[in-house]
Amino acid sequence: MSNSTRNSQSKVTITKEHPKAHKSPVIITSHLEDIPVISSASYIQDARNRWYIHSYEVKVLWDQHVNIYNKVKPVVINAVDKIKSLSK
């Protein structure tokens, strides 16, 4: 594999820019004593942020597995061909 091919496969392209500003959650009063509760809007934003992080990490994991598969495949094919030629 040439260096240009290897470098093009290892680049990560982010197509959607995620907002970088962190806003502290809005605490609302609860009917329970001493229990802070965040607002539903803060909860939803937190869930979206966590999903964004999860999606990014799964994409990186997938790309790593694809790279491993592409590197191992020719070695396995050569090993199988060698064993087949020995058994003839």
Q: What is the pTM of this model?
A: 0.54
Cβ atoms within 10 Å of 52's Cβ, excluding its own: 13
DSSP letter string, 16-52: SPPP----PPPEE--SSTT--EE-HHHHHHHHHHHHH
Q: Would you give per-residue pLDDT tens digits along the chain (88 residues)?
A: 444 444 445 565 656 666 666 677 777 777 777 888 888 888 899 999 999 999 999 999 999 999 999 999 999 999 999 999 998 7
